[in-house]
Structure 1
Amino acid sequence: MRHAAMVTAAFLAFASAAATAAPAGGTPASTAAGPLAAPTDLAVSAGGESGVLSWRQPPDGRARAFRVYESGVEITRNTTTHAPLTNLGFARTRTYTVTAVDDQGRESAHSAPISRHLGISGVPPTCEPGTLSGLAATAVTASAVTLTWTLDGDPGTTVVTGGPAGPLTTTQSGIRVGGLSPGTPYTFEVSHYPRCSGPAVPAMRVAVVTAAGTASTLAPPADPAVTASTDTTLTLGWRPPSTVATRYAVYESGRRVAISTGTSATVRGLYHAAGYTFQVTAFDARGNESPAVAVAGNTAECQTRPPRPAALTATALSASSVRLSWEYDAWASGYTIHTGDVAVGTSAGTTTVLSGLPSATALRLRVIATLPGTCGQSPASPAVAVTTPAGPTARPARPTDFRVASANPMTGALTLTWTQPAGDDPAVGYRVYRGAEVIAEATAAPVVVLALPQATTHVLTVVAVDEHGMESARSADLTVRVPYLPPP
């Protein structure tokens, strides 16, 4: 393009005005003094007993991971800006907050909370009265302004009016408004409309006077599109506008995230498996900025370098069993426990008990996470060493055919049964585990009745116990959903 090697004084003035927002993935020096800013714009998408909580991370540095809390108790972690919600139960109100964790392990303050009445199958969550706050106008030039705001409440569409191009809509918490006239006062009004049936959020207004300059009729870039993606980048391409342009800028929520002298740009430092909407504007040689054109895309679902489980601890509970716990920053569909190259157990969560182990045996255990979808597995955790104490060598046979015999939708009561194969070491009792927790015990007969919260799902296993308290190997996992009878 013409002037590709030149940076005009007008464009340098724009860059200086817009420098309050660092490019995505950049870490301002101020973050060294403290943790990241808290996540914003929480939203819940749910209908029934599961859903998704999503959020945005302010651009003061890239978070290594996020932690999701329900009523102050951590319930899950993830390395992207959303997390699944499971076991919502039946018709309960739940309150969530999210924190961001940086590379040094420092945790941000909690986000503003979001509360939703969840768990009614087929019924979306109720809207929550929302508020707009913190409306600000920044990076004001002769032809453009950035508007940013904070929304607490239900997500939806935000409409900005007051510019020469008419109403502008966005689902984000900021917008770049270009194509303005120099030295001209504008009053922008920001209104929010929830995506579910709820009242519109009261509008906010902000007055702006653009800087002096030369008037322009610069057209926006044409046909923007996502041309390539990775787990942390999106590459955008577009055609030059009908008028002569010398530079282009890319914005996300009103924050400049890339500049280019050509008709493409790569936005970096994004989160995997996440959706983004960008605005692209054009500049002429005098620094005038065109109206923006929007383009949306999604980063790759799978991480190039997924984290590995960490903080693995192991405690011998008996001569036949070991309790394991660990941490994992990303979402996993399950975990496999290995000693050497041999898998010795699985777990649905980050705590479990390995049973049926040999007495007086040294073990070096590692954990590997199974990632969602087709993303494969994580690297193995560092190994942890544990030795089972001395004890009897005999173990009962592993229970088989673990199943739900009956379920009562009125009360949620579950009757579980299994088969105990004959062996040299007879069983005198049984333990039903949920992770590392014993939730039921039985003597003699292979049957238990459980009372668990209705409309919740649990992964259970059963072990046989002999007269010395030695446990068998675990049965196969059994996933159970506790029934309920919804009101008419």
Structure 2
Amino acid sequence: MRKLVVPAVVLTVLAGAVGTAAAAAGPVPPAPADLTGSVANTGIALSWRQPAGGPAVASFRVYEGGAVVRRTATTSAPMQYIGVNTTHTYTVTAVSPAGVESAPSAPFTGTTWTPGMAPQCDEPAPLTVFDVTSSGLSVRWSVGRSSPQLALTVNGRDYGVVPGTSLRVGGLSPDTAYGITLRRVNCDSRDPAVGFATTRTLPGATNTAAAPRNLAVTAQADRSIGLAWSGPTDGSYVHQYAVYDGAYRVATTWTPSATVAGLFHNTVHRFTVAALDVAGNESEHSTVLSPSTAQCPTGPPAPAAVTATAVSASTLRLDWTLESTAGSYTVLDGDSPVATVTDPAAVLTGLAPASQHSLRVVGSLPGCPDTPASAPLAVTTLAGPAGRPAAPLGFHAGQPTIAYAYDADVPLSWTPSAGLAYRLYDGATVVGTYQGSAVTLRTRGAERHQYRLTAVDANGDESPATAPVEVITPFLVAP
């Protein structure tokens, strides 16, 4: 197969395209904290915490190598199908409703792996102990790449498998040394210890109240969760209650109920409640309750910053942003859908020369109503010959094969016509322009691709694209 060399075309921004916006002004949100990732064979599931204080936060941006690779309106981002045995370093920023972006979080680095080559069960899970008082301490850790089930022990007391990556422990004795241990559960028969730390509580008084009980959810919204509980069973005096989300205090109340606000949609929280005495000392905590906020955001944002670039008289490229996580996007020309894509970019081909278009973009939010449409963008294609080839026939992908442990070959073929070349797209990216009827692509294993094919005539004008062909590349699983 010989690859056709095509002269580069100067890209021209059409009338109506949006330029770079001036930097927004206003209060700066605090940087996201505790960025961590659960690493698997095909991706890395990122999660983080947005500290309280500062202006409200509307969305987050995930960066890799200085480029934004994901925008989301919640505190997690599954980076899926990013290639097996590949190393990625991410940071996250918070964005206010006015568009002001925070400083980046501390980075997280992870390397994807094949199931047969998983790290050993005793891979370390680093522990951090902080906010130590006379009656309590906070612990946070990283999940790592082995079994994500981690059990916490404090001075021999087993708190069992702890959901999430942090916990507050109360009811401790003042001026006492404590040893904290994490062990992996259901990783192998040993349940190996993988995290260790020691600390000493501060001098002070002991809170002898029993732990609050019957912690339950009373309301769930996309940005808040209502909680209620019963007081200690021993009838001891309670001055106040403290509500914790993992290791962090999120509310203090005089009554056995609270609404925790400032949350983000579709996030899981790990709440406990402690009774406080007059001096603020904590009792033992209630059992952990792990509710989630409502799945769908109220008033999701619309796609914005839609730009159009002329590639030729037959072809436009659209780009946009959405400060949320979309499963797919639909491009509308007037009210007619003309493309459905998975990334925030699309190429429209087979267009008539000097034709006018009013383009909008709608995002599909997984399990939720669609976003509002973007503002319409009026564009006119370049002038040129009127002829356009027909879309290629028979475009399909053969069975991908493993080339090496981490690479795969993807065979693509179609029915050729005389005098035409064929341009292959992966999403909105040109893979290459070819003559003939087939091409085999070398790719990384554990990647997702969405291929489309167009026919290209002697003038360089393209046909409409074929329907997309979805491919997830295989990889070698070690014994």
Cα distance change on mapping 1:159 and 1:330 into 2, 3 Å = same
Match of 2:337 in 1: 343
Corresponding residue to 1:264 among 233, 257, 271 = 257
1:237-280: CA deviation from partner (whole Å, max 9, x where unpaired)? 22343316564331223433234444432211112211111111
Matches of residues 180-259 of structure 1 in structure 2 within 5 Å? 184-193=174-183, 200-210=194-204, 217-242=208-233, 243=235, 245=238, 247-259=240-252
Residue of structure 1 equivalent to 2:130:
135
Q: What TM-score, normalized to structure 1?
A: 0.79
Change (3 A) 1:408 1:240: closer
| TM-aligned CA deviation for residue 335 of structure 1 | 0.8
Residues 404/487 of structure 1: CA separation in 2 closer, same or farther (3 Å cut): same
Deviation of 1:89 (Å): 2.2
Distance 1:206 1:59, change over 3 A: farther
Which amino acid counterpart does residue 430 of structure 1 have in structure 2?
Y
| 1:337 CA displacement | 0.5
Q: Which residue number corresponds to residue 477 of structure 1?
A: 468
Counterpart pick for 2:410 among 411, 414, 421 = 414
1:220 alignment partner AA: A
| Distance of aligned partners of 1:227 and 1:356 in 2 relative to their CA distance in 1, 3 Å threshold | same
Matching residue's letter, 2:372: P
- Select the residue among 46, 61, 66 that pairs with 1:67: 61
User: 3-state SS of the aligned residue for 1:137?
Assistant: coil
Check conservation: 2:29, 2:100, Cα contact below 8 A. Answer: yes
**1:355 and 2:349 are equivalent in the alignment:** yes
Residues 89-115 of structure 1, C-alpha deviation per residue, up to 9 Å, x if partnerless? Answer: 233333333333333433333333333
Q: Does structure 2 retain, via aligned residues, the 8 Å contact 1:97–1:114?
A: yes
Counterpart residue number, 1:177: 170
> For 1:200, what is the secondary structure of its paired residue?
strand
Q: Residue 53 of structure 1 is aligned with which of 13, 27, 46? A: 46
- Alignment of structure 1 residues 327-338 onto 2, 5 Å: 327-338=321-332
CA distance in 2, matches of 1:475, 1:273: 35
Question: Which residue pairs with 2:310 in the alignment?
Answer: 316
- Aligned equivalents of 1:280, 1:133: Cα separation in 2: 21
Letter in 1 for 2:229: W
Q: 1:284 to 1:207 in 2, by over 3 A?
A: closer
Would you say 1:435 and 2:431 are equivalent positions? Answer: no
CA distance in 2, matches of 1:486, 1:289: 49
- Deviation at 1:125? 5.6
Q: 2:294 aligns with which of 291, 300, 303?
A: 300
The superposition leaves residues 256-308 of structure 1 with CA deviations (integer Å, 9 ceiling, x where unpaired) of: 32344444322111122111111112357897753220322111222122222
Q: What SS does the aligned partner of 2:106 have? A: coil
Distance in 2 (CA, whole Å) between partners of 1:484 and 1:161 is 42
Cα contact 1:65–1:78 (8 A) shared by 2: yes
1:54 deviates by: 2.1
Spell out, residue by residue over 1:141-184, the C-alpha distance to the aligned partner (whole angstroms, 9 max, x if none).
Answer: xxx44x3455467376474636xx95656544451524x67xx5
Match of 1:366 among 360, 365, 383: 360
The change in CA–CA distance for 1:193 and 1:111 in structure 2 (over 3 A counts) is farther
CA contact (8 A) 1:40 1:55 kept: yes
What is the CA-CA distance between 1:404 and the residue it aligns to? 1.2
Contact 1:66 1:81 in 2 (8 A): yes
Following the alignment from structure 1 to structure 2, what is the Cα–Cα distance between the partners of residues 40 and 285? 31
Which residue of structure 1 lines up, in the alignment, with residue 105 of structure 2? 111
Unaligned runs of 5+ in 2: 1-24
In 2, Cα distance between equivalents of 1:54 and 1:94: 15
Q: Alpha-carbon deviation of 1:194?
A: 5.4
Question: In the alignment, does 2:448 pair up with 1:457?
Answer: yes
The code of the aligned residue for 1:309 comes to: P
CA contact (8 A) 1:355 1:473 kept: yes
One-letter code of the match for 1:481? I
Contact 2:65–2:89 (Cα < 8 Å) also in 1:
yes
Change beyond 3 A, Cα 1:37–1:330: same
Task: Measure, in 2, the Cα distance between the counterparts of 1:216 and 1:51.
Answer: 42
Q: Distance in 2 between matches of 1:269 and 1:199?
A: 35
CA contact (8 A) 1:194 1:200 kept: yes
Note the alpha carbon deviations across 1:324-353, whole angstroms, 9 max, x for none. Answer: 111122222111111222111122212221
Q: 1:172 to 1:466 in 2, by over 3 A?
A: closer
What SS does the aligned partner of 1:276 have? Answer: coil
**Change in 2 beyond 3 A, CA 1:290/1:204:** closer
Aligned residue pair count: 438
1:382 & 1:128 partners in 2: Cα distance?
A: 50
Map 1:269-284 to 2 at 5 A: 269-283=262-276
The residue number in structure 1 matching 2:9 is: none
Q: Which has the higher contact order (CA 8 A, sep 6+)?
A: 2
- Aligned match of 1:18: none
- Which residue number in structure 2 is paired with residue 23 of structure 1? none
Given that 1:97 and 1:112 are in contact with CA atoms closer than 8 Å, whether structure 2 keeps it comes out as yes
Q: 1:403 matched to which residue of 2?
A: 396
Alignment match, 2:385: 392
Residue number in structure 2 paired with 1:6: none
3-state secondary structure, aligned to 2:291: strand
**One-letter identity of the residue aligned with 2:219:** A
Distance 1:458 1:429, change over 3 A: same
Gap regions ≥5 residues in structure 1:
1-30
Structure 2 CA distance for partners of 1:79 and 1:33, relative to 1, 3 Å? closer
Q: Which sits farther off after the overlay, 35-44 or 268-277? A: 35-44
Measured in 2, the distance between the counterparts of 1:416 and 1:282 equals 65
Q: Secondary structure at the match of 2:402?
A: coil
User: Cα distance 1:85–1:186, how it changes in 2: closer, same or farther (>3 A)?
Assistant: same
Cα distance, 1:433 vs structure 2: 0.7
Percent of aligned pairs sharing the same letter: 37
